[in-house]
Amino acid sequence: MDDEFAKLIRRINPPRVAVDNDACEHATVIQVDSVNRHGILLEVVQVLADLNLVVTKAYISSDAGWFMDVFYVTDYEGNKIRDGRTLSYIQKTLETKVYFLNSLGSSVGVIPSKEHTSIELTGSDRPGLVSEVSAVLADLGCNVVNAEIWTHNARAAAVIYVTDQSTGHAIEDPKKLSMIKELLLNVMKGNSDFRTPRMSISSSGVMHRARRLHQMLFADRDFERPENVKFESAKPHVTVQDCSDRDYTVATIRSLDRPKLLFDTICTLTDMEYVVFHGTVITGRMEAYQEYYIRHVDGFPISSEAEQQRVVECLEAAIERRASEGLELELFTDDRFGLLSDITRIFRENGLCIRRAEISTKDGKAKDTFFVTDVNGNPVDPKTVDLIQHQIGQANLQVKGNSFLSPKHPKETAGSFLFGSLFKGRSFQNFKLIKSCS
């Protein structure tokens, strides 16, 4: 009876999404109202991230079974979203996603597909690993159509979509699938890996790539930092504390700002089975402040210091995994079989190590992004870049700027965000955002 009543409530209260370009001078405001269900927040944030929207501010509230979030978004250049078709698409997509999750309770981010075979790999990172994996796939007649590779704390994870070169569709031959698994596992084992590499092959359906990579690295315990591994960029500052008077746990995050940062933190909290009841996000001057009032899905706050410390480590890892490390190179050229194997071989032969990569093909074109360092993690010598561009073609391989830093809004100042005092322990209770829980 309780389940049927919940379904009735969801039917008579469909999700509502309002997109407003007049409420704020510098950003488009998106408000989402819905009956609450675990995973809705991640679903909404995932849509915004996939549309390449930059969240400059956000206010989250999901008390008393109702979900209400407000997001201030821009494009990567810091401009409002003004195209009418894009605004309509955002609204319809969010309404559909939230309604679908509320009605069917589907897992967030599942993408059904039988057009390709999905390969998931996790194991020890090392120079030349991506090149070796690409070479094996090419030798076995596997055409890489899309892929994403992350490395963090000496661990590596990859989600690779391949088709059979002979058919252009998912690989169906059991013997070939078995051979792919055997050879790739041999590549992933390495020489001194104390953890067994993991691998799975599927032709039925796959998770949202970024969310799956977070899950894979979390399962591989990449949040445990080896003594000999140092994070080169500014380390995020994360605290997790009791809020006993309101029966919540408060997670506070300060870090460099970048696109998809909100997705990375919400994704991690959701997959760790925590619910965000209230939250705020404020960005400015390339800095980001996030504060979340959370409980475990069983309704209780975090009860031990050990669990608090684990949440700190996992949130730090979630931010670091996608942080820009190394020189960003973008390849844009005609697609062909074995292209990825050839490009990564050239990188390896010139002493480059791939720290992160995103591979995509569409309409006969390949657009690949690589973040590279030398084998010791140091910046790449410009002479090496010139040599590689000569081998690949300067028109095909471009050195990109740091596009992962959010644009600085000229009309906003440091004072408008109060970062000086905000970062010294000011809770967003001072912003009067959680009246409903007082």
* Whether residue 236 has pLDDT greater than 80: yes
Asked whether residue 189 carries a pLDDT value surpassing 70, the answer given is yes
2-109+238-323+413-437: CATH class: alpha beta
| Tens digits of residue pLDDT in 11-31 | 545 688 999 999 999 999 999
pLDDT tens, residue by residue, 239-289: 999 987 788 999 999 999 998 999 999 999 999 999 999 999 999 888 999
Q: Give the whole-number percent of the chain exceeding pLDDT 70.
A: 81
Question: pTM for this one?
Answer: 0.84
Model confidence band, residue 91 (pLDDT cutoffs 50, 70, 90):
very high
pLDDT for 102 beyond 70: no
Mean pLDDT value of segment 317-322: 96
Is residue 160 scored above 90 in pLDDT? yes
Tell me the two tokens of residue 226.
């080896």
DSSP track, 201-240: EESSEEE-HHHHHHHHHHHTTTTS--TT----SPPPEEEE
pLDDT at 325: 80
Cβ-in-10-Å burial (0-12, 13-18, 19+) of 77 comes to: exposed
The owner of tokens 């992962």 is: 404
Do residues 385 and 319 touch, judged by C-beta distance below 8 A? no
Rg (CA), the chain: 22
Tokens read off for 49: 């991230």
Rounded to whole angstroms, the Cα distance separating 306 from 312 reads 10
Q: What are phi and psi of 169, to 5 degrees?
A: -125, -175
d(CA 297, CA 245): 19
Label the pairing between strands 274-284 and 54-61: antiparallel
Tokens representing 420? 């000086």
Which pair of structure tokens corresponds to residue 94?
Answer: 């969010």
The answer to whether the CB of 315 falls within 8 A of the CB of 253 is: yes
Residue-range domain boundaries for the chain:
2-109+238-323+413-437, 110-226+324-400
Residue 101 has what pLDDT?
67
Question: Distance (Å, rounded) from C-alpha 54 to C-alpha 57?
Answer: 9
Domain 110-226+324-400 has CATH 3.30.70.260: yes
What pLDDT, in 10s, does the model give residues 117-138? 999 999 999 999 999 999 999 9
Determine the Cα–Cα distance for residues 279 and 291; give it in Å rounded to an integer: 5
Instruction: Answer whether 255's CB lies under 8 Å from 264's CB.
Output: no
pLDDT-derived band at 411, boundaries 50, 70, 90: very low
Beta bridge partners of 163: 143
For 208, 239, 326, 351, the CA distances from 232, given in Å and listed in that order, are 28, 21, 9, 19
Mean predicted lDDT score pLDDT of the chain: 84
DSSP letter string, 364-379: TEEEEEEEEEETTSPP
Chain centre distance of CA 375:
25
- Residue 36: band (very low, low, confident or very high) from pLDDT cuts 50, 70, 90: confident
State how far the Cα of 412 lies from the Cα of 435, in Å rounded to an integer: 27
SS3 of residue 397 by DSSP: strand
Q: Is there a contact between 117 and 163 (Cβ–Cβ < 8 Å)? A: yes
Query: What does residue 293 show for φ and ψ, rounded to 5 degrees?
Result: -100, 115
Q: How confident is the model at residue 65 (pLDDT cuts 50, 70, 90)?
A: confident
Q: State yes or no: pLDDT of 9 exceeds 70.
A: no
Rounded Cα distance, 280 and 291, in Å: 5
Question: Three-class SS of residue 380?
Answer: coil
pLDDT at 49: 95
Q: Using 50, 70 and 90 to split pLDDT, how confident is the model at 232?
A: low
Q: What is the mean pLDDT of residues 407-429?
A: 37
